[in-house]
Amino acid sequence: MQKTRREFLKALGVAGLAALASRLEARADTPAAPKPNIIFILTDDQGWGDAKRFGHPYLKTPNIDRLADSGTWFKQFYVANPVCSPSRTAFMTGHYPARHGVHQHFATHAENRRRGMPDWLDPDVTTVCDLLKSAGYATAHFGKWHLGGGAGAPTPDAYGSDVSRTVNSAGPGWPQEETDPYFRAHSTDLIVDEAIAFMKERREKPFYVNVWTLVPHALLKPTPEELAVYADLKVNPEDFPAWMRSYVAAAKDPAQQMKVFCAAVTGLDKAIGRLLDFLDESGLAKDTVVFFSSDNGPEDYHIGNAANAGMGSPGVMRARKRSLYEGGVRTPLLVRWPGRVKAGRVDETSVLASVDFLPTVCGIVGIDAGKLQCDGEDVGDILTGTSRPRRKPIFWEWRGGVAGDHAYLPPRLAVREGKWKLYVDFDGSGRQLYDVVADASQEHDMAKDNADLVNRLAGEVLAWKKTLPP
């Protein structure tokens, strides 16, 4: 049974925290190492292929590329769900979102009830912000929240953030959201401004900051200056891998849609550059771990308001947002930690997941997260260069549909173990099996040739499903 936030913090206790700090810092033979600062940049609907460094043929992303050059790119990283709110729940809690009844994005209270969901993430659940705050960190959350809103919703401080300014929440936001026609284009700069101000004010203690952007989620409306960067862009579907190639070719106006998308991402990239510049110029970079990822795969232009946001790329992978196929749940992960995480490295083999984020961050700062019964594992050794298979399989459940191509809709449950990813419906039917190392585009279903493996993996994921709340 999952421990609640109150139960865990009570069990740990002030005395326990003091003892933990003493064990970590009071070693007779070596001086205590300072706890690193941590920044988590989470973009919104950015696909696995949506940066120049990730193979996009048109995007100009010098700062995301710079982050990759100064850190490690993990190419087999998975989020816990193909849409926003459940994906973010996993990052914050270390649990599969279905354990908290979060199956799709939080919407109106009536829509949440229709989906069998609560109206917000239970504020009594222990979060990464709770844990780091208890360990002496200053904590903040700036940008998108989407872990619950509307009448009665808790604000981000109820989940462990000392300071916050957010959208899609009940907390304080930006007045420009109502008055600036280019608010979304300016939003990443506003988020970065808040993060920089917070870091300047809180330098007397280590800090943890969520920098969760609104871009490239729809609606996209880049400024004229951002659009000018791509004024001469010519789009050829043949510049993309197969799934994306046919998708671009079927767009209503590929060139114009791609210009808007690329302009928005480059605007996002520029703001990230200001954040990285601040870390360098302030001397904080050497003591700061930066994580960079996206909450799910790229949007689909068949969604009514997403003609432009729907031009993101999943790279070679099949499907997009709202799908358990690779393109919906495999997203980029960059990690920079000077002196600890190797610069310029590309890790092709390690399999990491968003449910690993909380236990890994706890491991970095010296917190024992074992009492939380996380669904993920501490992969700090992998981040710093150890090559090993993961110890736990990764599970998914998806109760929604897809937009557009029905070739993007697999069965409702999935499990990744080793090189294999199996899909199965709730009743055990519809089994599909892919070697996603050799076949990331998932074009070759190998279920018929591997009956024993299929039966074993299907049994595992169906057993996992039974552990979830009804």
Average pLDDT, integer, range 445-469: 98
**Nearest alpha-carbon partner for 90 in 139, 40, 135, 37:** 40
Kindly report, residue by residue over 18-47, the tens digit of the pLDDT: 444 444 343 334 455 789 999 999 999 999
Q: Which CATH class is domain 5-392?
A: alpha beta
With cut-offs at 50, 70 and 90, classify the pLDDT of residue 203. Answer: confident
- The count of residues in the chain is 470
* Residue percentage of the chain with pLDDT more than 90: 91
Kindly report, residue by residue over 254-285, the tens digit of the pLDDT: 999 999 999 999 999 999 999 999 999 999 99
Q: What is the pLDDT of residue 21?
A: 42
- CA angle (294, 82, 245) in 5-degree steps: 80
Tracing tokens 């579907």 back to the chain, one arrives at 237
What CA–CA distance (Å, rounded) separates 417 from 375?
Answer: 14
- What percent helix, strand, coil does the chain show, rounded to 5? 40, 15, 50
Q: What is the pLDDT of residue 5?
A: 55
Q: Which two tokens stand for residue 205?
A: 């203690």
Q: List Cα–Cα distances, 88 to 79, 121, 142, 451, in angstroms.
A: 9, 10, 14, 35
What b-and-e string marks burial along 255-285, b requiring 16 or more CB atoms within 10 Å of the CB?
eebbbbbbbbbbbbbbbbbebbebbeeeebb
Contact yes or no for 34/204 (Cβ under 8 A): no
Domains 5-392 and 410-470 fall in the same CATH topology: no
Query: Does domain 410-470 sit in CATH 3.30.1120.10?
Result: yes
For the ranges 133-137, 161-165, 199-203, 381-385, the lowest mean pLDDT is seen at 199-203
Contact yes or no for 335/370 (Cβ under 8 A): no
Kindly report, residue by residue over 281-332, the tens digit of the pLDDT: 999 999 999 999 999 999 999 999 999 999 999 999 999 999 999 999 999 9
Domain ranges of the chain: 5-392, 410-470
